[in-house]
Structure 1
Amino acid sequence: MPNSPAPAQRHRLYEDLQALLTGTLLVAIGLALFRQAGLMTGGTVGLAFLLHYASGWPFGWLFFAINLPFYLLAWKRMGKRFTLKTLGAVSLLALLSSWLPQWLRFEAVAPLFAALAGGLLLGVGFVILFRHRASLGGLNLLVLLLQERFGWRAGWLQLGLDGAILLAAWPWLDLQRLLLSMLAAAAMNTALAVNHRPGRYMAF
């Protein structure tokens, strides 16, 4: 008789804190590579990058401000625990993005390496956060709400929004960097697809 699967185990507080720190640190390093190479990404991170390139304002504080309207959606859809963890992750990423240039400096980064390594770091960072019921906020919550209300496919909506963000960055990106940004998005989503599948991770 086959063994029954082990029951899901709730993460302890210290495990969640370690995951928030590790996940956001990986994302922050990936974004530092993007910034050094002049690359873009989608989602609320991409919106913050777009405004950062356009205005010169600090990325971290732009990212924090853009996410503020989405917390109400998170509270309604995902509950208090998820919203508070997401607020913690967004706040931590905003701080790390501001502090990291003082701790880590790149003299030169090959754009292709930045796209692949940065995309994979973002993907793994998101996996860690997702497995601990947290996120870096934003547009994914909006597209889920639109899918629920109007029946629009969330995947296609997310793809369209990310594509629009990348195209809006055209004045600050040449064709090579735009294509590399698309490659970075593919690397990130590959890391997510391979490492974040239902049934592979039992804790919550």
Structure 2
Amino acid sequence: MTQLINALGFWNTSATRHTPVEDVQGIFSGSLVAALGLYVLASAGLLTGSTAGIAFLLHYAFGINFGLAFFLLNLPFFYLSWKRLGVAFTMKTFIAIGLTSLLTSLQPNVMSIATIHPAWAALLGGLLLGFGLLALYRHRASLGGVGILGIYMQERFGIRAGLVQMAVDLCVLAAAFFVTTPPVVFYSVLGAVVLNLFLTINHRADRYVAL
């Protein structure tokens, strides 16, 4: 029984590494919540930043499947992850990206949002994405792309991951003017700000160390 409790990580009172069971539930939960956030944004026709934002642009402009585009766009960032952040982080991130891509594609088959105000979609979608990413970060994983770059910059130079992602996200959303309307871009920027402020406030190395 003691071995089972230790394996599950229950009732630990000292700083310990995450157990495999904890990593599995953390990565699955983070991917699921992030996929829900992406679906909320898509239901209002909104975008977000990073590689997910580029995948949204390709989806809206050319009708390319979002999940597939999101997965393929993240592939080049695995080199940085492999070289700078280690094999374990890279493998966890690969699994998280695959799960999020799959769950995002399956989402319309299990639920439907008939109507949602874009402001509410921006707030709710941004927070859900933030919670999902925070769960992944705390289990030494991410959703790839700028998330990988952000974690590297925070650990190497002390620049918060949320600020790095916010800067890149705003550049991606600026490109959205070419494929959608200004109101959609405005609400998309709002969602990106909500997401990245949430990460900036809550993902801090001085308060939580992922082991």
Residues 43/16 of structure 1: CA separation in 2 closer, same or farther (3 Å cut): same
Q: Which residue of 2 aligns with 1:166?
A: 173
Report the residue type matching 2:138 in the other structure.
R
- 1:168 is displaced (CA, Å) by 1.3
**Of residues 127, 132, 156 in structure 2, which corresponds to 1:125?**
132
Report the residue type matching 2:76 in the other structure.
P
Cα pair 1:34 1:115 within 8 Å, conserved = yes
Partners of 1:199 and 1:142 in 2: how far apart? Answer: 19
**Structure 1 segment 54-203 matched on structure 2, within 5 A:** 54-142=61-149, 158-203=165-210
Residues 163/56 of structure 1: CA separation in 2 closer, same or farther (3 Å cut): same
Residues 198/33 of structure 1: CA separation in 2 closer, same or farther (3 Å cut): same
Residues 115/159 of structure 1: CA separation in 2 closer, same or farther (3 Å cut): closer
SS of aligned partner of 1:96: helix
Partners of 2:154 and 2:205 in 1: how far apart? Answer: 20
- 1:175 is displaced (CA, Å) by 1.6
- 1:72 is displaced (CA, Å) by 1.2
Partners of 2:144 and 2:181 in 1: how far apart? Answer: 28
Report the residue type matching 1:42 in the other structure.
G
Q: Which residue of 1 aligns with 2:5?
A: none
Cα pair 1:82 1:134 within 8 Å, conserved = yes
Partners of 2:150 and 2:34 in 1: how far apart? Answer: 22
Q: Which has the higher contact order (CA 8 A, sep 6+)?
A: 1
SS of aligned partner of 1:201: coil
Residue deviations 1:138-167 (CA, integer Å, cap 9, x gap): 13445777999xx9x887765443222112
Q: Which residue of 1 aligns with 2:38?
A: 31
Cα pair 1:8 1:202 within 8 Å, conserved = no
| Runs of 5+ consecutive residues of structure 2 not aligned to the other structure | 1-12
Cα pair 1:139 1:158 within 8 Å, conserved = yes
Corresponding residue pairs, total: 197
Identity %: 45
Residues 200/154 of structure 1: CA separation in 2 closer, same or farther (3 Å cut): closer
Residues 108/147 of structure 1: CA separation in 2 closer, same or farther (3 Å cut): closer
Q: Which residue of 1 aligns with 2:9?
A: none
| Runs of 5+ consecutive residues of structure 1 not aligned to the other structure | 1-5
The alignment yields a C-alpha RMSD, in angstroms, of 2.5
Partners of 1:201 and 1:132 in 2: how far apart? Answer: 11
TM-score, normalising length from structure 2?
0.84
Residues 18/73 of structure 1: CA separation in 2 closer, same or farther (3 Å cut): same
Residues 159/124 of structure 1: CA separation in 2 closer, same or farther (3 Å cut): closer
SS of aligned partner of 1:169: helix
Report the residue type matching 2:80 in the other structure.
L
Cα pair 2:67 2:105 within 8 Å, conserved = yes
2:32 counterpart of 1:22: no
SS of aligned partner of 1:135: coil
Cα pair 1:41 1:162 within 8 Å, conserved = yes
Q: Which residue of 2 aligns with 1:3?
A: none
